[in-house]
Amino acid sequence: QLVESGGGLVQAGGSLTLSCAATGDRFSLYTVGWYHQVPGKERELVAAITRAGSINYADSVKGRFTISRDNAKNLVYLQMDSLKFEDTGVYYCHAQWGSGTFWGQGTQVTVSS
């Protein structure tokens, strides 16, 4: 099970930190990603981190967002800086390992211009 938190309303240029909390004892094996979705569009990958710590970002967030994980606490974070209006949407946490794939319920981020 994945539970996101940390969303909210922020002005453009501001920052938010999202957290994804996982249950289970194999979380460190999972590749975890953060996805962004706006109404009428598919979810898009924003950032992902593998169990080895390899990271990739969407071009739109490079230099502004930072993904990290704390396996001891079963947590993955998304630090979002220099937020833009277009970052508004629901952010979902996704974990995948082998055939196992899990989604959180999402957390709303609203950036006011």
**Residue 12's pLDDT is what?**
98
**Residue 19's pLDDT is what?**
98
**Residue 88's pLDDT is what?**
98
**Residue 99's pLDDT is what?**
86
**Residue 62's pLDDT is what?**
98
**Dihedral class, residue 106 (left if φ above 0, else alpha if ψ from -120 to 50, else beta):** left
**Residue 25's pLDDT is what?**
80
Task: For residue 35, give the nearest of 75, 94, 80 by alpha carbon.
Answer: 94
Asked if residues 1 and 95 have their Cβ atoms less than 8 Å apart, the reply is no
**Residue 24's pLDDT is what?**
81
**Residue 26's pLDDT is what?**
86
Segments in the chain below pLDDT 70: none
**Residue 98's pLDDT is what?**
86
